[in-house]
Amino acid sequence: MRVAFDGRALTASAGGVRRYVQELCRAIRRVDRSVQMVAVGADGTAVLPDGVQAAPAGGSLPTNLGWNLTGLPLAARKVSHDVFHAPAYTAPFWGVGKLVLTVHDVSYARRPEWYPYLNDPIRRAFYRASAHRAHRIITDSVFSRDEIVAAYHIDPGRIDVVPLGVAPEFSPSRAVTREPFVLHVGDLHPRRNLPLLVDVVLALRQNEPSCSKLRLILAGTDFGVLAGLRRQAAAAPDALGFVGKPDDTGLLDLYRRAAVFAYPSRYEGFGLPLLEAMACGTPVVAAAAGSLPEIVGDSAPLLSPDDPGSWRGMIRRVLTEPALGADISARALVRARSFTWDRTARETLDCYRRALSNS
């Protein structure tokens, strides 16, 4: 099988998309070396995973829409392939045969109030048209499958649920000591419900003597939320830290040093940072919302994103009851081992085969 894919994803600004494509390509190479992967239009700065070939693109109209109208289909027509995989929401309008599209979530369609900068009719129509054109759709969770069906009225039989994996380097380390900070990894965005965490940390610092030095560390790209969080923490500015987007080494270090990983998000199609924290043995506390219960299972506390009191109580217990933190860590480690990129690759290859077998 020869699979072409949108090579620009290897240098996408969205870190989750980059990781998805890079890890998927590596895993496909491991599980079936007969499959050939071709990155169409990959940027000259892209680091190609082992075994992935590059196919250059010529000129293109500007913007992502222009790329899918001109540059990508023109380049794809010159590349022999059995399946074309569009790995993030948008697909070429023409020039490819069997089309597989990955839609990680449709929060922009189901909760557009969170995305005023994306809430334009042309962009949303482009996303919808890409989903309807695809022979098969891949999504990360049962939750996202049901949301895609609700948003686009697509037959659920065309959608394959393929969970993401966690790379082996995300693992515990006995050489690193846990420090008194609560960690959140992910873009700073309204749906992430971060004011709740600021309130929790401030309350614990004030009311729990053993937590007087507790901090909240945020890692990700700020989408206009940080200034408000800093105003919220103005009485104790040292309680809030922002580290931007660390590289993988820095991210691993944060997971291993954090006393708690907290994820109060109101909507997630998967929540890869949560899984990475679990794989590092970090005690996690997550929202009982979106796809997060599918990842966590019964391995860690799941709390309402609208109940700050329960978050204060549970994070306090994790910080002050070592046995509880150790139990959450142990169960989360076991749970995380079931999410591998090799599994993702095998199930993705099954999806490619279904696309080829469908008329």
Domain ranges in the chain are 2-165+340-357, 179-336
Of these ranges, 5-9, 118-122, 320-324, the one predicted with the greatest mean pLDDT is 320-324
Report yes or no: 28 and 61 within 8 Å, Cβ to Cβ.
Answer: no
For the segment 72-110, what is each residue's pLDDT rounded down to a tens digit?
899 899 999 999 999 999 999 888 989 999 999 999 899
For the segment 20-59, what is each residue's pLDDT rounded down to a tens digit?
999 999 999 999 999 999 999 888 788 899 999 999 887 8
User: Which tokens in the block code for residue 287?
Assistant: 């929202």
Return mean pLDDT, the chain: 94
Question: Which pLDDT score, from 0 to 100, does residue 173 have?
Answer: 92
Residue 23's H or E segment, with its range, is: helix 15-31
- CATH assignment, 2-165+340-357: 3.40.50.2000
Report yes or no: 236 and 202 within 8 Å, Cβ to Cβ.
Answer: yes
Res 118 pLDDT > 80: no
pTM score, two decimals?
A: 0.92
Res 356 pLDDT > 70: yes
- Assess whether the region 2-165+340-357 and the region 179-336 belong to the same CATH fold: yes
Question: Which pLDDT score, from 0 to 100, does residue 92 have?
Answer: 92
For the segment 199-220, what is each residue's pLDDT rounded down to a tens digit?
999 999 999 999 999 999 999 9
Q: For domain 179-336, give the CATH superfamily.
A: Glycogen Phosphorylase B; (3.40.50.2000)
From residue 144, give the alpha-carbon distance in Å to each of 226, 227, 229: 27, 31, 29
